């Protein structure tokens, strides 16, 4: 009997994810319950993890290599406040030329390792004029304008359902925890809607006016595909943007990546403090959950 079109591809991807998860679980005795993806210039948090095992992406089966300045390109498994965490120092982007399945592959591997919640961070352009440069913003929703979706193609039922619900793509419970931590730390934490474009060129002023019109507060070139993949897997998500620059046309000056890096360096103290405080609380909310079929927790 002939296989259904696309079925073998789904099965291959599941096996690919499982192989990478097994490889990583053999590298450490820790079993992370929460993962964090650290965007441009925000990777310093991973350097603070205790009992850390650091694995370059190129040594992990199936992982693509991160090529962007400000993305160290390694997975760090360690603890913060006694909580096991898997931290990605940098991510893969579609503008680097990788297929979208490679962009979301690390999220699926974290899931196969037993991670049940992820904190996704990024550097973003501020469309909302109320955001100051260096502001930390909770993502409450997103607009996908990348022209791609990681779930296109034959559905792998072991990952999730064919049509996953995205009503609450970003966990309200996690946002409440983050706001509570921000109050304790005296950090001004806003919230907003993140628009994802493919990049790598920055947006034009006309595009920013369009994005503002359709309800976007932030703009960037990442995160959304990872969120879609995570929700497909049943993982809960917290999204945090660092506003590294005003979007095109908001201020009368050109944009460049050096400004992104300089701003993240300036605000890394608040960023690290917030992540350090919220991760153990997020991990605590997952303790009673039962791992879904396909995970390798405990192996």
Q: At what angle do helices 100-113 and 224-232 cross, to 10 degrees?
A: 40
**What pLDDT, in 10s, does the model give residues 53-86?**
999 999 999 999 887 765 578 999 999 999 999 9
What confidence score (pLDDT) does residue 3 get?
33
What confidence score (pLDDT) does residue 42 get?
76
Tokens of 213: 């019109």
Mean pLDDT of the chain: 88
What confidence score (pLDDT) does residue 257 get?
61
User: Residue 98 pLDDT more than 70?
Assistant: yes
Q: Is the pTM of this model over 0.95?
A: no
**What pLDDT, in 10s, does the model give residues 237-254?**
999 999 988 765 455 556
- Find the range with the poorest average confidence among 148-152, 221-225, 289-293: 289-293
What confidence score (pLDDT) does residue 296 get?
56
**What pLDDT, in 10s, does the model give residues 154-207?**
999 999 999 999 999 999 999 999 999 999 999 999 999 999 999 999 999 999
Distance CA(114)–CA(34), nearest Å, equals 8
| CATH number belonging to domain 8-286 | 3.40.50.1580
Catalytic residue ranges: 40, 71, 93, 95-96, 123, 221-222, 245, 257
Q: Which of 6-10, 137-141, 244-248 has the highest mean pLDDT?
A: 137-141
What confidence score (pLDDT) does residue 174 get?
98
Q: How confident is the model at residue 295 (pLDDT cuts 50, 70, 90)?
A: low
Nearby residues of 8 by Cβ (< 8 Å), 6 or more positions away: none
Distance CA(214)–CA(204), nearest Å, equals 16
Average pLDDT over residues 140-156: 97
Average pLDDT over residues 264-273: 83
- Find the range with the poorest average confidence among 4-18, 75-89, 142-156, 183-197: 4-18
3-state SS of the chain? CCCCCCHHHHHHHHHHHHHHHHHHHCCCCCCCCEEEEECCCCHHHHHHCEEEEEEEHHHCCCCCCCCCCCCCCEEEEEEECCEEEEEEECCCCHHHCCCHHHHHHHHHHHHHHCCCEEEEEEEEEECCCCCCCCCEEEEEEEEECCCCCCCCCCCCCCCCCCCCCCCCCCCHHHHHHHHHHHHHHCCCEEEEEEEECCCCCCCCHHHHHHHHHCCCCEEECCCHHHHHHHHHCCCEEEEEEEEEEECECCECCCCCHHHHHHHHHHHHHHHHHHHHHHHHHHHHHHCCCCCCCCCCCCC
What confidence score (pLDDT) does residue 69 get?
61
Q: Which residues pair with 13 in a beta bridge?
A: none
What confidence score (pLDDT) does residue 4 get?
34
**What pLDDT, in 10s, does the model give residues 26-45?**
999 999 999 999 987 677 88
């Amino acid at each position: 009997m002939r296989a259904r079109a696309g079925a073998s591809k789904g099965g291959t991807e599941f096996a690919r994810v499982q192989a990478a998860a097994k490889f990583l679980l053999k590298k450490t005795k820790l079993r992370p319950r929460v993962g964090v993806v650290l965007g441009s210039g925000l990777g310093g948090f991973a350097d603070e993890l205790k009992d850390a095992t650091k694995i370059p992406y190129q040594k992990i089966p199936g992982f693509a290599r991160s090529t962007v300045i400000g993305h160290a390109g390694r997975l760090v498994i360690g603890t913060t406040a006694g909580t096991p965490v898997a931290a990605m120092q940098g991510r893969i982007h579609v503008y680097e030329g990788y297929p979208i399945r490679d962009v979301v592959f690390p999220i699926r591997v974290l899931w196969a390792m037993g991670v049940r919640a992820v904190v996704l961070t990024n550097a973003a352009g501020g469309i909302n004029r109320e955001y100051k440069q260096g502001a930390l913003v909770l993502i409450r929703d997103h607009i996908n304008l990348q022209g791609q979706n990681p779930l296109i193609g034959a559905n792998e039922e072991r990952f999730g359902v064919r049509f996953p619900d995205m009503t609450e793509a970003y966990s309200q419970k996690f946002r409440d925890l983050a706001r509570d931590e921000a109050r304790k730390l005296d950090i001004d934490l806003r919230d907003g809607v993140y628009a994802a474009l493919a990049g790598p060129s920055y947006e034009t002023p006309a595009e920013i006016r369009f994005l503002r019109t359709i309800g976007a507060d932030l703009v960037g070139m990442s995160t959304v595909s990872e969120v879609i993949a995570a929700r497909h897997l049943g993982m809960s998500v917290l999204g945090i943007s660092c506003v590294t620059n005003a979007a095109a046309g908001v201020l009368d000056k050109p944009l460049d990546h050096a400004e992104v890096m300089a701003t993240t360096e300036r605000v890394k103290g608040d960023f690290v403090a917030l992540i350090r405080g919220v991760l153990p609380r997020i991990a605590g909310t997952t303790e009673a959950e039962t791992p879904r079929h396909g995970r390798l927790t405990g192996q």
